[in-house]
Amino acid sequence: MAFPSILPEQPGKIIAVHVAFESRAAQRGRRPLKPSYFLKATSSLAESGGGLARPAGTELLAFEGEIALIIGAPAKDVSLEEAWKHVAFVTASNDVGLYDYRAADKGSNTRSKSRDGYTPIGPRLIDAQAIDPKQLRLRTWVNGELVQEGDTSDAEMIFPLAQFVADLSQHLTLETGDIILTGTPAGSTVIVPGDVVEVEVDVPGESSSGRLSSTVVESTADFDPAIGDLPSVDDKQREDAYGDRAAAGLPPLTSSEPDPESSPEL
């Protein structure tokens, strides 16, 4: 798959943050004390206007509107105060996931989030050095309806955007072109073939990424059980994919049932 034409450099890696917005943490019932991450394949990158393939026989494809940071200069052991200087651009992204493979992935998100086309970004870049990173706004629409809205103020973010750059640089070198996906606010849910998802990042009244648009399509699938795990779902995955038990059409938990929120974030 070709790299999106908006990128000035081919990224060597995509690193995604698990939970970063207060609203998402409240929805999940667990608030992280420190950032945590997972890797996505660069082959999952896609342009605006493309399709999000839901393999036949699966049911829990979910969007996550996110702010993407694109590294402009290598960062290794940089301080929090210096970290933002290493970010060249900001744009919109959609951290798409197929929850049917989350349990099999056991936290890596390799199959659930690294499928081809599952990281659309764009359509335009915002100059990171020309903005205040605490004044960004993120919005997501499904079929024209606003379903997610958040901003990067201290009140909304558990961690400032620059912290991800500084923290990651303690453990690995962030190279020019690398992409950091910075978490999603509440409102992520399941999408089905025919749905159109749009994500925009902007500084209100100033600069904008434009609307990143993707359409869900049904794709063929022939997963071979002799080679690897087959997709599967349970109520825990349905609850996480839809956002809560009610949205997933599940009954409330009784006092005798274990709380699925006690399981770790995947």
> Burial of 138 by CB count in 10 Å (0-12 exposed, 13-18 middle, 19+ buried)?
buried
CA nearest to 164, candidates 174, 156, 155: 174
Q: What is the 3-state secondary structure (H, E, C) of 76-134?
A: CCCCHHHHHHHEEEEEEEECCEEHHHHHHHCCCCHHHHCCCCCEEECCCCEEHHHCCCC
Can you give the three-state secondary structure of 235-250, one letter per residue? HHHHHHHHCCCCCCCC
The first and second tokens of residue 155, run together, are 């009140």
Using pLDDT thresholds of 50, 70 and 90, give the confidence band for residue 254.
confident
Say what the pLDDT of residue 262 is.
43
pLDDT digits (tens, 9 = 90+) for 71-83: 999 999 999 999 9
- Alpha-carbon span 27 to 87, nearest angstrom: 29
Measured between alpha carbons, how far apart are the two ends of the chain, in Å?
Answer: 26
| Strand stretches in the chain, DSSP E | 14-17, 37-40, 45-46, 50-55, 61-62, 65-71, 87-94, 97-98, 119-120, 126-127, 137-142, 145-151, 179-181, 196-202, 212-219
CATH code given to domain 14-220: 3.90.850.10
Dist. CA 239–CA 142, nearest whole Å: 19
The residue-averaged pLDDT of 40-69 equals 97
The pLDDT, as a whole number, for residue 261 is: 46
Bond prior to 123 in cis (omega within 30° of 0): yes
3-state secondary structure of 169: helix
Tell me the per-residue pLDDT of 99-138, one tens digit each, with 9 for 90 and over: 999 999 988 999 999 999 999 999 999 999 999 999 999 9
Domain borders along the chain are 14-220
A 10 A CB-CB count for 125 gives 20
Burial class (CB in 10 A: 0-12, 13-18, 19+), 112: buried
Residue linked to tokens 């699925």: 260
pLDDT of res. 85: 98
What digits encode the pLDDT tens for the residues 4-35?
A: 999 998 999 999 999 999 999 999 889 999 99
Per-residue pLDDT, 196:
98
2 has a pLDDT exceeding 90:
no
Whole-number Å distance between alpha carbons of 67 and 152: 9
Q: How far apart are CA 224 and CA 237, in angstroms?
A: 22
